[in-house]
Amino acid sequence: MNIIIKNIRELVQVETQPKLKVSGHEMSTLKTIKNAYLLISDGIITEFGKMENLQNSAKAASIKELKEIDATGKMVFPSFCDSHTHLVYPASREIEYIDKIKGLSYEEIAKKGGGILNTAKKMQEISEEELTESALQRLNEIKLMGTGAVEIKSGYGLTPDSELKMLRVIKRLKSLSSLTIKATFLGAHAIPAIYKSNPTEYVDLIINEMIPQVASEELADYIDVFCDRGFFTVDDTDRILNAGMKYGLRPKIHANELDFSGGVQVGVKYNALSVDHLEYTGEAEIKALLNSETMPTILPGAAFFLNMIYAPARKMIEAGLPVAMASDFNPGSSPSGNMQLILSMASILYKLTPEEAINATTINTAYAMDLSEELGSICVGKKANVFITCPIPSYQFMPYYYGSNKAESVILNGEIQ
Ligand code: NIG
Ligand code: FE
């Protein structure tokens, strides 16, 4: 399909010289064009500019079947990239809510057999069909709120069979969904009860059985470890990442959510694409991340839902780091995949300006999925994944008017959804 969107009140996050990510003070720059048009053909962004120049566009004139969309009063954004989710899961966990309200910590709930292990039990019993069906519904929900690319992790299986089942579902979702999807193997999400007294044995199982099988079926793009207090140690993480990288699986890890775990440093050591959570980030972690190719990724939904301390986003940006923000959509710590809400949390809770928050949820999360050459901004040659807002007065309105869906229509791969 070829589409021309005309009379766009403001076309947001445009790039003529594409960048893979934006860091430090650059994050406060957001290029936009007022009263703009956007031309899409064969799934790709082919041209954009000011409305007054549209009549001179040879490209627009040369396209025969061109669907016109009038966006008077509305804005166009690049779709959000959500670089960290666990959205394939068997059942919600609202019952744990009661324990949480009563004040039990995430770790205490996990120790009582709740949390990840509770979901893993249900994962054993559910069929691939049921998992696929419920995940497709969640994908549809986030799509309508403006997400165009999403990373999905395994990690609720915790046995070779169950982990493979989850990853096969994610592989199927890649072909069934119009969203761009990346898959991450997270066998090291929690230590199953039967390995409690000998966690090394479970790490060996991940290294010797799970990773080779995941690789032989080409089921994952990345490898993840929950490197934190009470979960996997730096030594475990070192061994698992080392094993995964032998099969070409680049790390993207859970780090420093519960403590100064050493997760950031071990992630950087293995050139992780991202280290995620980062509530416990101090000078040493910032120093390790500077001059690395690792994207520091904050997950505001989890910190908000679990009432945790907030990662020092401002400090990180002021030190010159890039910052990405993703949803962590999962049934335990962040039961929402609404990236518009993440945009609001970025500014309300983490004091990012609207410009920084938009960069954190588009181009920097695209980088954290290795997709910033094709997604994350409005740029000629990039995939046409965009959304048109309802009429709004300014792009700053997006984080400000929190909680409601301001995406009115969605275009993915150049197709109206
Ligand atoms: O990213 N921190 C570790 N894992 C998930 C939580 C998963 C769950 O509780 O089910 C997270 O927050
Ligand atoms: Fe997570």
Whole-angstrom distance, CA of residue 198 vs CA of residue 279 = 28
CATH for the stretch 80-367: 3.20.20.140
Give the tokens for residue 320. 């010159």
Give the tokens for residue 399. 């984080």
274-277, strands of its sheet edge to edge: 80-82, 147-153, 180-188, 222-227, 250-255, 274-277, 295-298, 324-325
pLDDT in tens, 19-36: 999 999 999 999 999 999
* Cα–Cα distances in angstroms (integers) from residue 206 to residues 45, 51, 137, 324, in the given order: 42, 56, 30, 29
Q: Considering only CA atoms, which residue is closest to atom 5 of ligand 1?
A: 333
**Nearest alpha-carbon partner for 159 in 129, 193, 133:** 193
pLDDT at 225 over 90: yes
The structure tokens 């054993």 sit at 124
Which of the listed residues 189, 224, 276 should we mutate to test ligand 1's pocket, taking the one with most ligand atoms within 8 A of CB? Answer: 189
pLDDT at 106 over 80: no
Whole-angstrom distance, CA of residue 387 vs CA of residue 148 = 9
Residues with Cβ within 6 A of ligand 1?
Answer: 86, 115-116, 119, 226, 254, 257, 302, 328, 330-333
**Please, are residues 163 and 190 in contact by the beta-carbon 8 Å criterion?**
no
Which atom of ligand 1 lies at the shortest distance from residue 89's CA?
Answer: 10
pLDDT in tens, 63-98: 889 999 999 999 999 999 999 999 999 999 988 888
**Please, are residues 165 and 131 in contact by the beta-carbon 8 Å criterion?**
yes
Chain length of the chain:
417
pLDDT at 112 over 80: no
pLDDT for the residue numbered 98: 83
Which of the listed residues 84, 86, 259 should we mutate to test ligand 1's pocket, taking the one with most ligand atoms within 8 A of CB? Answer: 86
Q: Considering only CA atoms, which residue is closest to atom 1 of ligand 1?
A: 328
pLDDT at 302 over 90: yes
CATH 3.40.1440.10: does it fit domain 2-79+377-416? no
- Tell me, in angstroms, the distance from the centre of ligand 2 to residue 90's CA: 16
Q: DSSP letters along 20-59, please? A: S---GGGGG---EEEEEEEEEETTEEEEEEEGGGGGG-HH
Per-residue confidence at 109, pLDDT binned at 50, 70, 90?
confident
Residue 335: CA count within 13 A, CB half-sphere: 11
Element housing 136 (H / E): helix 128-144
Mean pLDDT of 215-240: 97
Residues 6+ apart with CB under 8 A from 5: 37, 38, 40, 69, 71, 76, 388
pLDDT in tens, 367-398: 999 999 999 999 999 999 999 999 999 999 99
pLDDT for the residue numbered 41: 96
User: Which residues is 274 bridged to in the sheet?
Assistant: 252, 295
Is there a common fold for 2-79+377-416 and 80-367? no
- Tell me, in angstroms, the distance from the centre of ligand 1 to residue 305's CA: 11
Query: 236 by DSSP, 3-state: which?
Result: helix
Which atom of ligand 1 lies at the shortest distance from residue 115's CA?
Answer: 9
**Please, are residues 145 and 338 in contact by the beta-carbon 8 Å criterion?**
yes
Which of the listed residues 82, 83, 106, 116 should we mutate to test ligand 1's pocket, taking the one with most ligand atoms within 8 A of CB? Answer: 116
pLDDT for the residue numbered 114: 76
- Tell me, in angstroms, the distance from the centre of ligand 1 to residue 382's CA: 32
State the greatest distance between any 2 C-alpha atoms of the chain, in Å, as a whole number: 72
Q: What is the CA radius of gyration of the chain?
A: 21
The structure tokens 């999925």 sit at 369
Element housing 59 (H / E): helix 58-62
Whole-angstrom distance, CA of residue 216 vs CA of residue 199 = 25
Which atom of ligand 1 lies at the shortest distance from residue 228's CA?
Answer: 2
- Tell me the whole-structure pTM to 2 decimals: 0.97
Whole-angstrom distance, CA of residue 113 vs CA of residue 119 = 10
Which atom of ligand 1 lies at the shortest distance from residue 119's CA?
Answer: 10
Q: Considering only CA atoms, which residue is closest to atom 3 of ligand 1?
A: 226
Domain boundaries, given as residue ranges, for the chain: 2-79+377-416, 80-367
pLDDT at 110 over 90: no
pLDDT for the residue numbered 299: 98
Instruction: Please name the residue ranges forming H helices in 177-322.
Output: 199-205, 211-216, 234-246, 263-269, 283-289, 300-305, 313-318
**Please, are residues 131 and 154 in contact by the beta-carbon 8 Å criterion?**
no
Whole-angstrom distance, CA of residue 208 vs CA of residue 191 = 16
pLDDT for the residue numbered 176: 98
User: Which residues is 149 bridged to in the sheet?
Assistant: 81, 180
DSSP state of 293: S
**Please, are residues 251 and 273 in contact by the beta-carbon 8 Å criterion?**
yes
- Tell me, in angstroms, the distance from the centre of ligand 1 to residue 330's CA: 7
pLDDT in tens, 119-161: 999 999 999 999 999 999 999 999 999 999 999 999 999 999 9
Residue 307 or 221, more confident: 221
The percent of residues above 90 in pLDDT, for the chain, comes to 92
Residue 65 CB burial class (10 angstroms; 0-12, 13-18, ≥19): exposed
CB atoms within 10 A of CB 111: 13
- Tell me, in angstroms, the distance from the centre of ligand 2 to residue 328's CA: 5
Whole-angstrom distance, CA of residue 117 vs CA of residue 53 = 58
